[in-house]
Structure 1
Amino acid sequence: MPKIIKRAFIIIIFTLLAIMTAALYGALHDQISYSISPEYFTKLKFQQFGLNEYGLGSDRMNAAVVGILSTWWTGLFGGLIQGLVGLIQPKEMFWKSVFGAIIRTFIFAICLGLLGIVLGWFVISEFNTQWLIPESVIDRKAFLTVGTMHTSSYAGGLIGLMIGIIYQVKLKIKYKSNSL
């Protein structure tokens, strides 16, 4: 089998794994989010995703569905991008390079999501600003904390994607200098 076909197959596998990991991350992320602010889901997200009419019955399950639908696509793009960048590697470094880059992406998403909780609770929620919050929200602080957590997680994923690319380029440079 030609090298490019093998690598394309591996990229597809990595992308599928990244999609599944991102979806699982989203489901777990939104369980934490729901624990902090059920209103974020019942008064915003369930409406956005049409789960008020067609949900699974349980708010916890619906929160998991929101998480999956909100994140699977980040795994698609992240897995594809890191896989394509990994093509710069020699065959013996390809797996390590792509896997390491994807792991870095998820670590940054997790860390910035956790930082978002802290920022949301202690900083953002203290601003006396007219945020776009449904009028019926009772716990404004928790609602803003979860919103900040979600935004921070996406930012972490994007930063992690860039860090993963840098990691792969540095790995290539290191490998090339060791080969000389």
Structure 2
Amino acid sequence: MTRLFTALMLTALACVAAAVFGALHDQVSYGVAPDYYHMFKFDQFAIPRDWPPRLGAAWVGVQASWWMGLVIGVPVFGIGALVVPTAAGLRRAGFWAIALVLGLTALASATGLLVEIISPTPDGIWWTPDGADVTAFRRAGAMHNAAYLGGALGLLAGLVLVIVAGIRARRAA
């Protein structure tokens, strides 16, 4: 298998992993703040009103997250294909990179929730719809915003990981 084909397959896998992460993440954030979905996300993502709410939250998560696999995968695995000398080495580094990104994203999301619990956002900074549970709504929003920050950190960490894997492989050769 060529490194280019491996990079493309890893990018596709990253999109699937991001979609699954999004579906699971949104199950947690739905539990934190159902209003976040019923008063915001379901309309934003055109979720039919007759869908079960948990299914709707999962579908929101898929739609909101799958593309992060492209945003992260294209540069990480594209550079990986250039610096890691074998397809097998790129596959190994790629699986680790996907796991690292998912872990950092989950950690960032949990940190966002924890920060919002410990030090709530002052009124007037974030939009909240009338009638929403403002505290819960902000907590779910903090989780989502922090998850995207975690993805950005994961992009950088993934780049470092594949570059180091390439350097080590070339030194060992």
* TM-score (structure 2 length as normaliser): 0.90
Shift of the alpha carbon at 1:80?
2.1
Query: How far off its partner does 1:81 sit?
Result: 2.0
- Which residue of structure 2 lines up, in the alignment, with residue 117 of structure 1? 113
Counting aligned pairs with the same residue, the percent is: 30
Structure having greater relative contact order (Cα 8 Å, sep ≥ 6):
2
In 1, distance between residues paired with 2:166 and 2:143? 34
CA deviations over 1:59-86 (Å, ceiling 9, x no partner) = 1111111000000100122222221111
Q: CA deviation at 1:56?
A: 5.3
Tell me if the contact between 1:112 and 1:155 (Cα under 8 Å) persists in the aligned partners: yes
Which aligned runs of 4 or more in structure 1 are off by greater than 4 angstroms? none
In 1, Cα distance between the equivalents of 2:78 and 2:101? 15
> Which has the larger Rg?
1
2:64 match: 70
1:168 deviation in Å? 1.5
Is residue 133 of structure 1 aligned with residue 133 of structure 2?
no
- Answer yes or no: is the 8 Å Cα contact 1:31–1:60 preserved in 2: yes
SS in 2 for 1:124: coil
Q: Is the Cα contact below 8 Å between 2:90 and 2:162 reproduced in 1? A: no
Kindly indicate whether the alpha-carbon contact (under 8 Å) linking 2:80 and 2:166 is maintained by their aligned counterparts in 1: no
Q: How many residues align?
A: 171
Richer in helix (by share): 1
Alignment partner for residue 163 of structure 2, among 150, 169, 173? 169
User: Which residue of 18, 29, 47 maps to 2:25?
Assistant: 29
Superposed CA RMSD in Å reads 1.7
Unaligned 5+ runs, structure 2: none
TM-score when scaled to structure 1?
0.87
